[in-house]
Structure 1
Amino acid sequence: MPDSSEASLPAFRRLSYSVGHFLNDLCASMWFTYLLVFYHSVLGFQNTYAGVLLLVGQIADGVCTPLIGYESDKTPGCGSYGKRKTWHLVGTISVLLSFPFIFNQCLGCDLDTPQWVSLTYFTPFIVIFQFGWAATQISHLSLIPELVTCEHEKVELTAYRYAFTVIANITVYAVAWLMFHFQTQEGDDPAITENLGLVDIPVFRGLSLTVVGIGALFSLLFHLGTREKGARPRQEEEGSSPGECQPLLNNTTVAPPTSLLQWKHWLRQPSFYQVAMLYMSTRLIVNLSQTYISMYLTYTLLLPKKYIATIPLVMFLSGFASSFIMKPLSKLMGKCMTYFLGLLLILAFSCWVLLDAHMGEKVYGTAVLLGVGSATILVMSLAMTAELIGDQTQSGAFVYGAMSLTDKVANGVGVMIIQTLHPCRTMVCCPGCVWYYHYIMVIVTGGVAVLAALSLCTILIWPIKIVPRDNRPGVYEALLDNRFTSWLT
């Protein structure tokens, strides 16, 4: 019996694939962590205006994602370059050209420029950036089922991908800390060195240019080292140990053409909605906590501005360390129970924040809980999405696009609701910020974790499974009915 590792993806190709989302991760780290901080605390935008910019970006991303997913599945790509890598290249160029303008002062604007003018100026750059971000994300995720077919290898590849996501976040926060540190060394006025304001525009501009430069190099490595191909031959998996690398297709049978699912067929799959709800809940926890952690540190705990770099840094260092045990842990406990373990850590963070309103330096302990918990649930939710797609790689981009649509719209609407309900109507934060951001951190972690737990329960009761497609009248309905009643017998 041949060793199952012979069919594994070579180490260099695993590495080159894993860094293909690095530019996106660098930009996403700045987008979610510092967008509201930059536009509200630095440029002085009103809460609702800052929320509108983030909402516009999320809606643009949400709309572009399924459309790009559909086109990515449908179009052949640029010659022999591959359809996924072609879309990845288009997305990368769009991000590189637009992102530096988002974290910079409006060109030609001054202190007397109306905020709606600045809002109009930034909107096109945000839309272009989100289009590029979506194109890169969907094409990169869609490569997972095409590069590997083994379930545990998919988890491993997803874990490596997330490890570089964490490295990207660590890079952003480390560079941000260095820039704030050098700024502190140059000035003696606490009002400047401790509080955010217009003086910090060069810091965020320099950070965005650094992000774009580093990300471009890693994108080049991805395009040079990753070879896109079609579905792997079934014979590759023949003889593999079923406990380690089970083939997704039966080696002795050829699936009929009707077994291939196109985008409209996914809408009739119950597991599609189960995984979509779980993925949306996961992203709400990860993204909203990342968005509001800086506000919580600045206005609730009243910590110096360097903490908006050091606390997220601790979070993602913890997540990075935990990402390497995802594969053995998921093999031991299963993906669902590993996800549940991550939820317990998120709930522990939420309870700690709720009960300790003046934690001060103890916030580092909560950062570890949130970092490890977020890493765990994100990797497992992506692994479940790859499991849902299975051998249906011809429509994999649509599935990832649809999952991302629910995530982006939910995040954008969530941020807009939070910004609209903000108790302070002026540009300067009022005393109401103290309790407001305190409870926001509790709700966006613990509250959404309850929703994620309910979604997980549906998967435990009705495991992820594709209902076979059959054109005969009544057959699909009978299979679907059996899908939801078999757990009772």
Structure 2
Amino acid sequence: MQDNYRKLRALPLCRRLCYAVGHFQNDLCASLWFTYLLVYLHAVLGFGSTAAGALLLLGQVADGVCTPLVGYESDRIQGVQRLGKRKTWHLLGTACVLVSFPFLFNPCLACSASTPQWAQIVYFTPFVVLFQFGWASVQISHLSLIPELASSEGAKVELTYCQIFLRILNITTYTPSLCLFYAGTWILFHFQTNMDPEASDSLGPADVPLFRSLSLIMLCVGALFSLIFHIGTKEHVSNPETERLTLNSDVKNKQSVTVLKWKHWLKEPSFYQVAFLYMCSRLIVNLSVTYMSVYVTSSLMLPKKFIATIPLVMYVSGFGSSLAMKSVSKHVGISVTYLVGLVLVFGFAVWVFVDRSMGAQSVYGAAVMLGAGSAVVLVMSLSMTTKLIGEQTQSGAFVYGSMSLTDKVANGLGVILIQSLRPCSSEQCCPDCVWFYRDVMATVTGGVALAAALCLLTVLIWPIRIRRK
């Protein structure tokens, strides 16, 4: 194993960095989507709670449907020969995101003040679907490229490559990209206040240019890093006939070789264990980020600049926990490290529920706890997925796609359920709405953390492995 690790370290740093930034654009767009879509639709465009939740649900369902389909097709279709099948899907997805995403944070171009909300939802629908298809294509192709890169190095240590590449992805691009995003958001809010001292501390229709500028700036930055990814990452392009002959040779040299297709994964108990843990991890991360902005502005009544600084604190603390995660998981294991993350998340939920008079200083401390716990559970769930796949790289995209399907659908259903329970359907505040989002932050993160802990108990009893003979 030490020799294999030294081989991995021999991979040029430039190539590792070029690969890592391939998901930069997705991270930035996801930050805007989850953090600001609801508050943008509510406070800026004036959508009702159900209409805003329905639009987000539509996006999550579209993403959930596209993800396994993209995973299946990217395993099957060879793509452009010079690019490779994974990079072909990545390029297609990047183009779809660039074309569709600018329309999501712009008002309906053909609408007027009298246009009903259902017509505006119809207007946004094709852009939401195209964006989610592009996002899924980039995500699945980028994750699926990990074992492909490992294979191109000629090493039989794909699991080690996957685990360390995933940590490189999280430490090198995921957290810094989101820190860049929220820092840029804070700068835009700061400049708006300096240029217009009479600007309201509350969000409203006057903030449309702010969100438009933010989305365009982040898209340009993401497109630049996607270009770096395509220039600096070389996918191993192999001939299908060569792959078949290699597989036949391996079969002759071994007494038995098990090659799992997509339908075989559905018979593996560990497949469902990992899927549930991944779903819980994503629910904790995405729903907490989605409702943090409205919690800060509606429940805590803090100025709008806090919707940039609070998430920034979360991801900075996540970056810090990422640095310590590798050594901790090496000594205590993935499952125990995941449990530590759940304890931090549950601690945040208890803090928010008990401290009703939470001020600016207290909310920063709670954000640090949530950010650290969220980063731990997210990366450890990805490591569990990688451990499950092992050497079954030929169907790895389907597994990644299936994991993502569970979280997309669950997130969409969670949002529409929360929105339907909101006491007021409009953005106008009422006494019952003040602490509604406080209860959401506490019960959602705490409840999902408990559910994940129960599933983790089954993993400790029946470890993650392929049981098919």
**What's the TM-score, normalizing by structure 1?**
0.89
Distance 1:3 1:462 in 2: 30
Shift of the 335–267 alpha-carbon distance from structure 1 to 2, 3 Å rule, reads: same
The letter for the 1-side match of 2:344 is L
Q: CA deviation at 1:49?
A: 0.6
Q: Is the 8 A contact 2:159 2:391 kept in 1?
A: no
Distance 1:158 1:129 in 2: 24
**1:195-344 residue pairs with structure 2 within 5 A?**
195-229=202-236, 254-255=253-254, 259-344=258-343
CA RMSD of aligned residues (A): 1.8
Q: CA deviation at 1:412?
A: 0.1
Q: Is the 8 A contact 1:145 1:390 kept in 2?
A: no
2:437 corresponding residue in structure 1: 437
Is the aligned partner of 1:161 residue 2:160? no
Q: Is the 8 A contact 1:146 1:230 kept in 2?
A: no
Distance 2:353 2:204 in 1: 29
Moved more, 112-121 or 345-354: 112-121
Q: Is the 8 A contact 1:48 1:420 kept in 2?
A: yes
Q: CA deviation at 1:150?
A: 5.0
1:479 corresponding residue in structure 2: none
Where do 5+ consecutive residues of structure 2 fail to align? Answer: 151-156, 239-249
**1:406-417 residue pairs with structure 2 within 5 A?**
406-417=406-417
The letter for the 2-side match of 1:371 is G
- What are the Cα deviations for residues 320-344 of structure 1, in whole angstroms up to 9, with x where unaligned? 1221222211111111111111111
**1:390-409 residue pairs with structure 2 within 5 A?**
390-409=390-409
Q: Is the 8 A contact 2:251 2:257 kept in 1?
A: no
1:376 corresponding residue in structure 2: 376
Distance 2:24 2:256 in 1: 37
Is the aligned partner of 1:467 residue 2:467? yes
The letter for the 2-side match of 1:122 is F
The DSSP-based 3-state class of the residue aligned with 2:404 is helix
1:44 corresponding residue in structure 2: 46
Moved more, 155-164 or 406-415: 155-164
Shift of the 2–114 alpha-carbon distance from structure 1 to 2, 3 Å rule, reads: closer
Q: CA deviation at 1:253?
A: 8.9
Is the aligned partner of 1:30 residue 2:32? yes
Is the aligned partner of 1:65 residue 2:67? yes
Counterpart among 127, 130, 151 of residue 128 in structure 1: 130
- What are the Cα deviations for residues 76-126 of structure 1, in whole angstroms up to 9, with x where unaligned? 111132111111111010001110110111113232222112111111100
The DSSP-based 3-state class of the residue aligned with 2:94 is helix
The DSSP-based 3-state class of the residue aligned with 1:193 is coil
Q: CA deviation at 1:229?
A: 2.2
Distance 2:104 2:254 in 1: 48
Q: CA deviation at 1:252?
A: 12
Where do 5+ consecutive residues of structure 1 fail to align? Answer: 232-250, 470-489
The DSSP-based 3-state class of the residue aligned with 2:468 is coil
1:180 corresponding residue in structure 2: 189
Q: Is the 8 A contact 2:84 2:237 kept in 1?
A: no
Shift of the 465–321 alpha-carbon distance from structure 1 to 2, 3 Å rule, reads: same
Is the aligned partner of 1:94 residue 2:96? yes
Distance 1:29 1:254 in 2: 48
State the identity %: 58
Q: CA deviation at 1:348?
A: 0.9
Moved more, 328-337 or 255-264: 255-264
Q: CA deviation at 1:182?
A: 1.1
**1:10-29 residue pairs with structure 2 within 5 A?**
10-29=12-31
Q: Is the 8 A contact 1:174 1:310 kept in 2?
A: yes
**What's the TM-score, normalizing by structure 2?**
0.92
The DSSP-based 3-state class of the residue aligned with 2:357 is coil
Moved more, 422-431 or 438-447: 422-431
Q: CA deviation at 1:430?
A: 1.8
Q: Is the 8 A contact 1:183 1:193 kept in 2?
A: no
Is the aligned partner of 1:367 residue 2:367? yes
Q: Is the 8 A contact 2:67 2:402 kept in 1?
A: yes
Moved more, 439-448 or 11-20: 11-20
Q: CA deviation at 1:406?
A: 0.6
Q: Is the 8 A contact 1:23 1:219 kept in 2?
A: yes
The letter for the 2-side match of 1:175 is G
Distance 1:255 1:404 in 2: 34
Moved more, 362-371 or 180-189: 180-189
Distance 2:260 2:400 in 1: 14
1:143 corresponding residue in structure 2: 145
Q: Is the 8 A contact 1:285 1:444 kept in 2?
A: yes
Distance 1:315 1:391 in 2: 35
The letter for the 1-side match of 2:137 is A
The DSSP-based 3-state class of the residue aligned with 1:80 is coil
Q: Is the 8 A contact 2:310 2:367 kept in 1?
A: yes
Q: CA deviation at 1:4?
A: 3.1
Distance 1:76 1:305 in 2: 48
Distance 1:357 1:374 in 2: 23
Q: CA deviation at 1:6?
A: 4.3
The DSSP-based 3-state class of the residue aligned with 1:124 is helix
Q: CA deviation at 1:426?
A: 2.7
